[in-house]
Amino acid sequence: MSGSEHNEGTLYIVATPLGNLEDITLRAIRTLREVNIIAAEDTRHTRKLLNAYAISTPLISLHEHNEKEKSLLIISKIKSGMSVAYVTDAGTPCISDPGHQLVKLVQAENLRVVPVPGPSAVITALSASGFPADNFVFYGFLPAKENKRCQFLAELKNEEKTAVFYESPNRFQAALRDMYDILGDREIVIAREMTKIFEEIRHGKISEFLQSTEQGRSKGEFTIILRGSEKGEIIVTDDEIERKIVDIWKQQNISLRDCVNYIAKQTGWQKKKIYDLAVKLRSRDL
């Protein structure tokens, strides 16, 4: 890995277990063994993982407070032909974790960056949520200050996609209260201690979690999954629909099909109902 195919080395972005050490991939183990250096968010934490798999690769620290400085050191190592793996405390680096500055700087030097995929709290929680995940949005940590958090949540009121957030234990209840006040009593899934002994993935309404006093036990972050807003049908009468049909046909001179499609999109009504009303009007010599 250190330079058999390239004059320079490579930066490997390696995903590590969320909790259960058995979740590491064979490729990740091999990569951590073969690189010249492992850069870690917390070397003490990563040492436990390395010890479990008898990996003796040298460690250096790279976290959010020294990322720019240490990134320059890593770039110099890669340019000299060394390969470096970067790991965070748990899950995939750069996903609400340090690492993106490192990757950006390495890419700016036209050096090779290779992802070694594995665990991610977002995907792990979504897979067990029961919520639609074919189209979702991930927002990372909610804003810490109440006014900014409320403003942020207000902008999500009409978001129809499943939304995923991280939240710290000390702000968890406050965040839920704001969600309840702004978004209503939505369905949510709360995941914590994922893949660990006390793993908990619970489904319910926001109000049910607000009534619970057990949440303060957690030492790690929560993953909160929020069901998207349901697009409600705009209620209009048959007379209003007929007026729309008349106005659109007269003003735009479009086909019946285009007229029906336009009104259905505008009002949320079923196309068949609009079509039936349009045919009825046409039979009256519209």
pLDDT of residue 27: 98
Reported residue count of the chain is 286
DSSP-derived secondary structure letter, 22: G
Say what the alpha-carbon torsion angle 99, 103, 109, 115 is, to the nearest 10 degrees.
Answer: 130
DSSP-derived secondary structure letter, 72: H
Number of H helices, E strands in the chain: 11, 10
Start-end of H helices in the chain: 26-34, 43-52, 67-79, 100-108, 121-127, 146-154, 172-183, 206-210, 238-252, 256-267, 271-283
What are 133-191's pLDDT values in tens digits?
A: 999 999 999 999 998 999 999 889 889 999 999 999 999 999 999 999 889 899 999 99
Which residue type, as a one-letter code, is found at position 96? S
Give the CATH H-level superfamily of domain 122-226: Tetrapyrrole methylase, C-terminal domain (3.30.950.10)
Residue 164 CB neighbour total at 10 angstroms: 24
pLDDT of residue 232: 52
Give the span between the Cα atoms of 204 and 185, in whole angstroms: 10
Q: What is the pLDDT along the chain (286 residues), one digit of tens a residue?
A: 544 445 789 999 999 999 999 999 999 999 999 999 999 999 999 999 999 999 999 999 999 899 989 999 999 999 999 999 999 999 999 999 999 999 999 999 999 999 999 999 999 999 999 999 999 999 999 999 998 999 999 889 889 999 999 999 999 999 999 999 889 899 999 999 999 999 999 999 999 999 875 544 556 789 999 999 886 544 567 777 788 788 776 666 778 788 887 777 666 667 788 888 888 877 775 4
Could you say which of 3.40.720.10, 1.10.3080.10, 3.30.420.40, 3.40.1010.10 is the CATH number of the domain covering 10-119? 3.40.1010.10
Cβ–Cβ < 8 Å for 25, 118: yes
pLDDT of residue 250: 65
3-state DSSP call for residue 37?
strand
Report domain extents, the chain: 10-119, 122-226, 238-283
Give the span between the Cα atoms of 246 and 234, in whole angstroms: 19
pTM of the model: 0.75
